[in-house]
């Protein structure tokens, strides 16, 4: 694990109105899914089918975000958690300034999920669910769990981090101060 500063994940629009949300807590996990589509020819003489590749879907990212304004150290008074989560809802809204020239219909903006320098996911938000879990005595929500799903946007996929710049955490491969890269347990006999 890195000894550097904690970098907060961020979701922001990359077109349309400028909206940005820093995650108050980074996701504890996320799920990336992608599928390939295969068709099968009608085959009545064999036990197996001949498969024909018919396309691929873009990647899907699913994650849960935890927002808590009740335990904020730097704030003197408790804020409504919707100050943060409403920005995510705004990213789901249809934006008239993003009209399709053919249909004249608006659409929600494309967004970028970013966690550090190398974890970029260019997408559109396809679904969002919010659950409020803590309230002040007056009924103001101060804690929420938000589940967000993204669909990769092909038009902007060049902004995805390349594998050559992606960071990997491994128990075996590390770098030391001398520039050695490899299994440090072997180098130092542990």
10-40+53-162: in CATH 2.40.30: yes
**Is 50 exceeded by the pLDDT of residue 74?**
yes
Average pLDDT value over all residues in the chain: 81
Position 187 pLDDT exceeds 70 = no
Residue recorded with tokens 């820093």: 22
Burial class (CB in 10 A: 0-12, 13-18, 19+), 161: middle
Rounded CA gap, 126 and 113, in Å? 13
What's the rounded mean pLDDT across residues 93-104? Answer: 92
**Model pTM above 0.75:** no
Asked whether the beta carbons of 95 and 111 are under 8 A apart, the reply is: no
Please count the residues of the chain.
190
Q: In terms of Cα–Cα distance, which of 91, 75, 63, 72 is closest to 143?
A: 72
pLDDT of residue 188: 44
- Residue 142 CB neighbour total at 10 angstroms: 20
99: Cβ contacts below 8 Å, ≥ 6 apart = 105, 106, 107
Question: What does the pLDDT average to over 151-161?
Answer: 60
CB contact at 8 A, 109 and 125: no
């Amino acid at each position: 694990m890195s000894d550097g500063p904690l970098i907060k994940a961020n979701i922001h629009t990359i077109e349309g109105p400028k909206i940005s949300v820093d995650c108050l807590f980074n996701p504890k996990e996320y799920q990336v899914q992608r599928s390939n589509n295969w068709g099968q020819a009608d085959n009545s003489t064999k036990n197996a089918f001949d498969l024909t590749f018919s396309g691929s879907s873009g990647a899907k990212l699913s994650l849960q975000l935890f927002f808590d304004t009740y335990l904020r150290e730097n704030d003197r008074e408790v804020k409504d958690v919707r100050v943060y989560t409403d920005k995510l809802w705004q990213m789901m809204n249809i934006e008239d300034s993003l009209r399709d020239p053919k249909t004249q219909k608006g659409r929600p903006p494309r967004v970028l999920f970013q966690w550090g320098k190398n974890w970029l996911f260019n997408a559109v938000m396809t679904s969002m669910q919010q659950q409020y879990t803590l309230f002040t005595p007056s009924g103001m929500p101060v804690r929420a769990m938000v589940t967000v799903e993204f669909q990769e946007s092909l038009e902007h996929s060049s902004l995805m981090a390349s594998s050559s710049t992606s960071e990997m955490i491994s128990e075996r491969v590390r770098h030391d101060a001398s520039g050695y890269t490899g299994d440090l347990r072997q180098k130092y006999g542990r």
